Chain A
Amino acid sequence: MGALLSFFVVIVLVLIALVGVKGAGLYVLFGTIIPYAAVATFILGVILRVIKWSRSPVPFHIPTTCGQEKSLPWIKYNKLESPAGTLGVIGRMALEVLLFRSLFRNLKTELREGPKLVYGSNKWLWLAGLAFHWSFLIVLIRHLRFFTHPVPEFVNIIDSLDGFLQIGSPHLLMTGVVLLLAVTYLFLRRVFIPQVRYISLPADYLPLFLIIGIATSGILMRYFYKVDIIKVKELTLGLATFSPEVPAGIGAVFYVHLFLISSLFAYFPFSKLMHMGGVFLSPTRNLANNSRMKRHVNPWNYPVKVHTYEEYEEEFREKMKNAGIPVEKE
């Protein structure tokens, strides 16, 4: 149900773009106003969300320790899984953010028990997750060529590495294909693994369909419909330099692509996609395991009602004296 709903939402978005551009000729709206609005929503939304998160303090020092603590000097402690200092925390976060360390944890057993496809669902999750996020990042970087002039050297290098297979013309870029495959896997997994289907919400399918739509329209545009790349760059560079102009004659598929991206950007801050920012703030990961070494202060710590020793002795004085336990007041 959730999947179907999300699918229709994306189809409607595609139709809106097609009708808007082809039918109503709203080129300025779809080429300039909506992208600007989407990016503004994105930036503002993300900032507001992160501010909201950071407004909530971290009252207690609660890292999840996944290895030996730093204790006695002759006991080897685990610097990455149970870091005692900032450097270790940076290492732990880097492993988490760049390589999805915790997801990878699933892998170990599966390999030892014999790498059979059916047991390895978690391994695939890690692999697909990694492939998806990394190729997405590279695709994003590649797109910098549309927003810069001259194009920075590293973008060119990434571009040529990405197309090293040199298949077809223009060269087939690997990451686009990987992105589409990985995101398709992530979708199929949601549909076919009953446990995951059971926990999935429409909000879990929507971003997947949006990204599938974006990748598909991008690939169509590059390899099949071949929109006028010079004109596209005129438009995008105009956006980047705040002197927007909308050249005539760019194919409708480009506007579909742009509109879906705008939708994703605008949707981002309100959705679970914010996990991107959240992972950095997660107190079970970004704190060092040094709470007995360094005092952690709770900003809203407040005095509480306690049962004092005096009250205790008052109640039990006779019993204490009889048992030979020293008391304050005889």
Chain B
Amino acid sequence: MAKPTKPPKPEELVKIDYNPPEKPWMEVPVEFKPGTFCYGTRPKYLEEVGLPNPREWSPTDDDWKLPSDWKDIVLDGIGERLKKYRSFQLFMDICVRCGACADKCHFFIGSGDPKNMPVLRAELMRSVYRKYFSTGGKLFGNLAGARELTFDVFKEWWYYFYQCTECRRCSVFCPYGIDTAEITMMARELFNLLGCNTDWIAGPVANCYRKGNHLGLEPHTITSNIEFMLDDIEEITGIKIEPTFNRKGAEILFVTPSGDLFGDPGTYTCMGYLMLFHELGLDYTWSTYASEGGNFGFFTSMEMAKRLNYKIYAEAKRLGVKWILGGECGHMWRVVHQYMDTWNGPADFLEEPVSPITGTKFENAKTTKMVHIAEFTADLIKHGKLKLDPSRNDHLKVTYHDSCNTSRGMGILEEPRYILKNVCNHFHEMPEDTIREKTFCCGSGTGLNAGENMELRMRGGFPRANAVKHVRDSHGVNMLANICAIDRATLSALMQYWVPDVEVCGVHELLGNALVMTGEKERETDLRLEPLPGKEEDEDV
């Protein structure tokens, strides 16, 4: 110990080992750190949908209770998928490891874990691909960047492929368009061959399969949930709305993620839809059977995704509607835009969507026959069909977060912005490199929005939160609008941690605030039952 009169030596003061030994990544074993991974699935969820190897297990167990031939199952699974997906085959072969993607991943930026660099995340899989599927890897092994598939490797995959939100940001910057999402999807299919899903994904999948939605809301619960919102709407506007459920012969079937039916702030967005449709006198119906737009099957396997997605067209057909309108959701729209028609189409029993209010033909949806509500509403506003009072949102300074899926897997960028600019007076964009096709993920997509991995979520969402913080400081932004149900739930948590005075909302919540409805009473509050600007003084009366 140093004597009190003499300052201690600097080396004595700092006893932290700064430099982790620099080892090649293949030699760094995976370590499951608390707060970064989700619980393993309970057997009942797998049994419900007939997925293999249901059993009690935990990722921290030494024994994952895999079948004895698990290695063959994985390798056969890879071989089969190489033949089925050109993306997978190609992305295993053509990466030149230029590093352009390395610092584009929100998980790498927020965590600093090198295995979160997209190129390395993919190499986790590629190294095994080389060993068993390429001549060079078979001949030269480690020298060719190949390695054996071992249980440790399998665990490493599990850890890191559940640290990818399939957001596709890396794919924007890759000179060959290599999309880590494609590789993550394949990895997750492989996990599901062995019953290694996460509880947070498998639960919603089982719920959705049997009850029609992720939350497991039964039909009467859905209607009573919506009745709750209707009561609030009546309290705010004086208007009683009476939507219909499972009604045959309606013109339009409306499908939205079940997150909108349950849990704030999604419910406020849902109130916005209800008010809009009522004001338009739209001939539409809800369905309790197809009561989920989102698709956690998409985070399980393509087959599971297709099995869940089936309900939307099936219900549209049963009810005899003309076309389908879809609510605000991220991965739901990736699925609807790029997969639904291929899986469960052709939807030749439906008609090419036409807005009954403006007569606009939605030619961009002419085969899938499903229109995004932002497209629908933007068209209404453009044609002057809505009476809007944006000053009712004057207490809000709004910015807009592009969801990964709607921006990089669909390209709906302008419509939500157009709506926002018409329903509120204060709108500020976040910095250019953090929006549109370069948007940062909320850090909790693809079923990573569980509670037990909160640290991971906070890390992954940091780049997004950091940009929000910037507009809060520079423009006083206090509301983060988006068109995604997962965003609405998870950005709320993210803001609580990083930028506490910013709240989160759907675009149609703000529309609901601004919408001047026929016969409404003078509004005192917004949809959150908080006093409107200028009405605060009434509070104490």
Contacts and interface: CB of A to CB of B under 8 A. Distances in A.
A79 to B, nearest CB: 12
8 contacts: A5-B143, A61-B338, A67-B436, A72-B379, A108-B433, A307-B307, A312-B212, A315-B210
Interface string A274-292: 1100110111110001111
A116 interface: no
Contacts of B518: none
Among B85, B360, B418, residue most surrounded by chain A Cβ atoms (within 10 Å) = B85
Contact of A305 (B123, B307, B410): B307
Given A195-B117, A198-B25, A291-B338, A285 B176 contact: yes
Interface string A152-163: 000000000000
A308 interface: yes
Interface stretch (B37-45, B60-68, B97-105): B97-105
Interface in B333-385: 336-339, 341-343, 345-346, 360, 362-368, 370, 375, 378-379, 382
B96 A65 contact: no
Nearest to B140: A202
Interface stretch (A210-218, A250-258, A322-330): A322-330
Interface stretch (A23-31, A36-44, A48-56): A48-56
Contacts of A296: 341-342
Contacts of A52: 89
A49 to B, nearest CB: 8
A55 B246 CA distance: 44
A96 B412 CA distance: 22
Given A202-B144, A204-B96, A312-B212, A61 B176 contact: no
A283 B174 CA distance: 13
Q: Classify the secondary structure of B's interface with A.
A: helix
A125 B117 CA distance: 17
Contacts of B364: 69-72, 84, 290, 292-293
Interface string B146-172: 000000000000000000000010011
Contact of A72 (B25, B90, B382): B382
B93 to A, nearest CB: 6
Interface string A289-307: 1111111111011001111
A200 B97 CA distance: 7
Interface residues of B, number: 104
Contacts of B432: 108
Contacts of A69: 364, 410-413
B307 A64 contact: no
Interface in B435-488: 436-438
B415 to A, nearest CB: 7
A235 to B, nearest CB: 31
A149 interface: no
B414 A75 contact: yes
Interface of B: 25, 50, 82-90, 93-100, 102-103, 114, 117, 119-120, 123, 134-136, 143-145, 168, 171-179, 182, 209-212, 218-220, 223-224, 245-248, 288-289, 302-303, 306-307, 310-311, 314-315, 318, 336-339, 341-343, 345-346, 360, 362-368, 370, 375, 378-379, 382, 407-415, 418, 432-433, 436-438
Contacts of B338: 60-62, 291
Contacts of B119: 199
Given A278-B90, A324-B245, 20 more contacts: A56-B89, A56-B90, A65-B409, A66-B408, A67-B413, A68-B412, A69-B412, A69-B413, A105-B172, A195-B103, A196-B98, A198-B114, A199-B119, A204-B96, A283-B90, A291-B338, A320-B219, A320-B246, A323-B223, A326-B247
A202 B127 CA distance: 13
A67 B442 CA distance: 20
**What range describes how many residues of A lie at the interface?**
35 or more
A295 B367 contact: yes
Contacts of A53: 86, 89-90, 93
B248 A102 contact: no
Closest A-B pairs by Cβ, 6 of them: A69-B411, A278-B94, A65-B411, A323-B220, A284-B177, A201-B145
Nearest to A207: B96
B178 A282 contact: yes
B445 to A, nearest CB: 16
A309 B289 contact: yes
Contacts of A134: none
A78 B370 CA distance: 21
Contacts of A297: 342
A74 interface: yes
A166 interface: no
Contact of B382 (A57, A74, A316, A323): A74
A35 interface: no
A279 B219 contact: no
A100 interface: yes
A293 B98 contact: no
A184 interface: no
Contacts of B363: 293
A284 B183 CA distance: 13
